[in-house]
Amino acid sequence: MSEINFAKLEALSDLCTPWCIHTVGTLRIADHISEGIDHIDDLAKASGSDAYVLHNVMRHLVSKGVFEETEPGQFALNDVSRGLLEPSHRPNLIGIGGRMAYAWGTLPTYVRTGTSGYHEQFGLPFWEDLAVNPDVGQSFDDLMGKAGHGVPDPNFPITGDWDLVQTVVDVGGGTGAMLAEILSARPHIHGTLVDLPGTVARSAEVFQDAGVSDRVTAVGQSFFDPLPAGADIYLLKKVLGNWPDKDKKEILLRCAEAARPSGRIVIMGGVTPDEEAHHLSIEMVLLGGKPIPLSEFKEMAREVGLEVSAAQKHGGFLVECQPI
């Protein structure tokens, strides 16, 4: 029998260190040190903390190579903790950061059932929780980018000519940055943004800044309800992968109903090539969703009256469907 590496197992299962990092990130301890506040008493005062407990947290992190204790009670940044000065790398238990951190505690439910246990921790499913906690919802949009869906990419390929497209509906389009980019690049197109009321309420400034307000309609509703009909393109960017298969099918059905007879559905994210391996992500834990291989997606699409007309890599993986 091979030797057991208990040390590695213990290091991988350690919960103390990540929670300490998330805590000092939330308290902005690295920022305080960079500003010259480096003694534990002063750090505790600046961060509103208990000096004894914070000292123990810092010493633990020093032992893990995250900070340096230059003298007793005196701390300095090193090449690891300087990363906490960067907002994109600083853990924060306030807002969506806290939701994501605590949601990992519901992983056993997801593993056992294949459905999210988020409601066990926060009382409501993810999207409903964000709807009743707008500050958390806004922090989620900020995390994902100004669109709430990452960096806009309006130049994705479609079958045929963009010049023939007159109308685009961005389904679940966040605060509208993707749609704004599409309209900015193509002055002949009119667009409709569909998302929950609290989200689309934050879209006016995005469209105004892009100079496209006169060509946009914002619709605050669920995309499980009937969608505005008759558009040329229905865009689903980073939507399908956030939902279990049953809900994916319902979203596609609504798009198919609205797109008939001659519209199309463009899907960016959530569908993968068959050969692509899937890995656990925080989105799965939060939402119980998962990406779907192309071959399975084709079957799902046919069940709601759609056929896949194109599939190609474009940054991620882009799929185009048309009503049968």
Residue 185 token pair: 């690049």
Cα atoms found within 13 Å of the Cα of residue 185, Cβ hemisphere only: 15
How do the pLDDT tens digits run along the chain, 324 residues long? 678 999 999 999 999 999 999 999 999 999 999 999 999 999 999 999 999 999 999 999 999 999 999 999 999 999 999 999 998 889 999 999 999 999 999 999 999 999 999 999 999 999 899 989 989 988 887 787 654 455 678 889 999 889 999 999 999 998 899 999 999 999 999 999 999 888 898 899 999 999 999 999 999 999 999 999 999 999 999 999 999 899 999 999 999 999 999 999 999 999 999 999 999 999 999 999 999 999 999 999 999 999 999 999 987 899 999 999
pLDDT tens digits along 173-219? 988 999 999 999 999 999 999 998 888 988 999 999 999 999 999 99
Which pLDDT score, from 0 to 100, does residue 2 have?
A: 75
Which pLDDT score, from 0 to 100, does residue 148 have?
A: 47
- CA distances from residue 265 to 23, 201, 244 in whole angstroms, order as listed: 43, 25, 19
Residue 267 token pair: 């899907």
Question: How close are the terminal C-alpha atoms of the chain, in Å?
Answer: 59
pLDDT tens digits along 99-128? 999 999 999 999 999 999 999 999 999 989
Q: Which of 324, 302, 317 is nearest to 157 (CA)?
A: 317
- Residue 27 backbone zone (phi > 0: left; psi -120 to 50: alpha; other: beta): alpha
Cα atoms found within 13 Å of the Cα of residue 177, Cβ hemisphere only: 12
- CA distances from residue 222 to 61, 188, 198 in whole angstroms, order as listed: 45, 27, 11
Name the fold adopted by 162-274+286-323: Rossmann fold (3.40.50)
Report which residue type is found at 288.
Answer: G
- Cα–Cα distance for residue pair 130/134, rounded to 1 Å: 6
Which pLDDT score, from 0 to 100, does residue 74 have?
A: 98
All CATH 3.40.50.150 domain ranges of the chain, comma separated, are 162-274+286-323
DSSP 11-42: HHH--HHHHHHHHHHHTTHHHHHHTT--BHHH
- Cα–Cα distance for residue pair 188/168, rounded to 1 Å: 11
Q: What is the pTM of this model?
A: 0.83
CATH class of 6-89: mainly alpha
Torsion of Cα atoms, 86 then 88 then 89 then 93, to 10°? 110
Contact 193, 171 (CB under 8 A): no
304 SS3 class: coil
All CATH 1.10.10.10 domain ranges of the chain, comma separated, are 6-89
pLDDT tens digits along 146-160? 544 556 788 899 998
